[in-house]
Structure 1
Amino acid sequence: MTFEEDLRARVIAAPLAAQLAHWEGAPTVHWDDRPEGAGLPAIIFTVIDDAPDYDHDGRDNLIITQVQADTLAPHPALARSISDALGQLLEGAAEVNGRRFVQGLIELARTIPVVGVAGARSVYGRTLRLSIYHKE
């Protein structure tokens, strides 16, 4: 499985997934875009940088992937709560499908201004930018 699939599976298996809406039978955790019609609250991940890392001997087997996680919700407190729980989850170690998540570092946390999303009156958001250390 890919990093993206494993990270999504990790979030879906966590208790915080109970706070998310469901779309096509699964919690609303998506990569790159929220599908039209998918409910809120939702988490949308984007890879910022997945270039290989190197040490003096060449490619390092510890991979550092920079990810942005946007949490969207109908209320600002809910967006913050889910985002905080997501940050705590991804800071910790875990293993999913043979991929070892070593740690995650939160590099940035900020509020997203109110945005218009089809099917919702107002949407509030919270962005986390993380460096996720993992090994395949």
Structure 2
Amino acid sequence: MEDVNNYLDGLSSESKIKAARFAVADKDQRISILGIQMLVESGLFDEAVPCLAARVLADDDLTAFGYAWAHSDEPQLAVRMYLKISRYLLARFDSLNDMQKTKAKNFIRSNLGRRFWIKEFSVAAAEQRLSQIEAQLTAPASAAPSP
């Protein structure tokens, strides 16, 4: 994989994005993961979100993505991506089958942390919690977090 990463690092931004778009559709999960991360690194968050949501619904582990985002140059990237994936899943929640709904709920609930735990899951309750988290992201650093 190191050779692939070295090759990709040498590409222009435009070529890297084209490669990322091609890679996300690959059936080999290792290649698809690389494409998704390249989209995120290129700032194409909204283009990466459907691919990430599909991984959630397939019960794939997103821990490696979360780790990379948490340790990126953008301090809030992990939280922002969690919010985007959660909002994407919630927007489609009614069209999911029961198993997919369970996976979506688990993702949304497990990534809210204890402070934002939702006792009785509903789309409205999840939307409210996501809005609270978004408000904290946009609040001035000196503002105290709300309970």
Q: Comparing both structures, which one devotes a greater share of its residues to strand? A: 1
Greater Cα radius of gyration, structure 1 or 2 = 2
By relative contact order (CA 8 Å, sep 6+), the higher-ranking structure is 1
Q: Comparing both structures, which one devotes a greater share of its residues to helix? A: 2
TM more than 0.5: no
- Scaled by the length of structure 2, the TM-score of the pair is 0.30
